[in-house]
Structures are given as structure tokens and as C-alpha cells.
Amino acid sequence: MLDRNFNQNALRKVLCTDITYLYYGLGRKAFLSAIKDIASGEIVSWELSQNLELEFVVKTVARLEQLSLPQDSILHSDQGFHYTSPLYSQKIKQLKIIQSMSRKGNCIDNAPMESFFGHLKDEVDFKSCNTFQELTVKVNEYMQYYNHQRYQWELKKMTPVQYRNHLLAAVA
């Protein structure tokens, strides 16, 4: 549905989501589910888990209830088992969000999330975290940094939150 149309100007109209793994401590692994607003580049929801159970992905989506989403918002993902599950689809429908999925085995179709996860892993040393709690703190700190302090060329050298406010001012 999205067809790689990542140039969006309507806030929270097109969102994308994915899951990545984070290695920390001595060979430990956690999983991060995140949702990104395509227009502003802002990470609007995230959830960290010690396992790949469906519930943490559904929680990530449930956090969207706290946002004011425009009618017919789209949430784009890959075709992983979390995103094709009936529980996930039910939550999306409950929130009146349109579900969009990449073609099977084509990570380029979800490039904004892949790019974000690449930056996250390049910029943060998760191996220094000895516990899941330390990892959680580090992820939350990075999300705040990414949204509020990390300037981005494609956002006219603004942070995602600054760019969101810029887009809001343009329509006011």
C-alpha cells in the first residue's frame, strides 16, 4: 500500500514499525519494537522486551492511543509473524488505522525503520549495559536524544520534534 512513498508532509498520517534486536552485557539479547512518524521522523512509540512474544508489539501499537492520529492513518510494517497475527490486526482496526505491509522479504520497503535502527546501533554502546534495566535506560535516553537533540539533514537540519513543530506551524 505505501509503495515506498516515504515523502510525507501530513503528521502522523503514515507511520512505520519494525523490531530489532539489541545485544547487551555478556551475550544477552533484547528486542526493540518502535513506530516512526514518516513526516517528522519522530519515534512516537517504542517498547523493549526480553523475548519476542507478540504482546510487546501490541503494546507498542497501543501507545498510539495517546496520540492524536488523523483519520485513515497508515501503519506500515514488514510481513513478520507479529504483524500478520490476528491480535495485531485487531488492535490496528480498533485504533482505526489502515495496515500496510512490505512485499515479502523486501527490507527496502521499510527503509525508514531500517535506517533508524542502523543509527541507533551505530551511536549507542549497548554492550556496556549489564542488566535489562540499564539497557532500558539507555534506549529511553537515546529516544529522547534522537527526537529532541539529533539534527537531521533530511529534516532541514532540525530535530524530529522541531520539524514536527515546523510542520504544525505551516498548517496553522
Q: Is 100 in a helix, a strand, or coil?
A: strand
- Report if residue 2 sits inside a domain: no
Give the model's pLDDT for residue 2.
Answer: 46
Q: Is 156 in a helix, a strand, or coil?
A: coil
Beta-carbon contacts of residue 27 (< 8 Å; ≥ 6 apart): none
Give the model's pLDDT for residue 107.
Answer: 56
Phi first, then psi, for residue 113 (nearest 5°) are: -75, -40
> What residues make up the domain containing 152?
14-171
- Report if residue 159 sits inside a domain: yes
Give the model's pLDDT for residue 171.
Answer: 80
- Report if residue 7 sits inside a domain: no
Cα 33 to its chain centre, rounded Å, is 7
Tell me the Ramachandran region of residue 45: left when phi exceeds 0, alpha when psi lies from -120 to 50, beta otherwise: beta
Average pLDDT for 162-169: 95
- Report if residue 4 sits inside a domain: no
Residue, of 1 and 59, whose pLDDT is higher: 59
- Report if residue 84 sits inside a domain: yes
pTM here?
A: 0.93
Q: List pLDDT tens digits, range 32-61.
A: 999 999 999 999 999 999 999 999 999 999
- Report if residue 42 sits inside a domain: yes
CATH value at residue 29: 3.30.420.10
Is the pLDDT confidence value at 108 over 80?
no
- Taking the CA atoms of residue 118, residue 42, residue 70 and residue 105 in that order, the dihedral angle to the nearest 10 degrees is 0
- Report if residue 1 sits inside a domain: no
**What percent of the chain lies above the pLDDT cut of 70?**
92
CA–CA separation, 134 vs 67, rounded Å?
A: 27
Q: What's the total number of domains in the chain?
A: 1
Give the model's pLDDT for residue 102.
Answer: 85
- Report if residue 94 sits inside a domain: yes
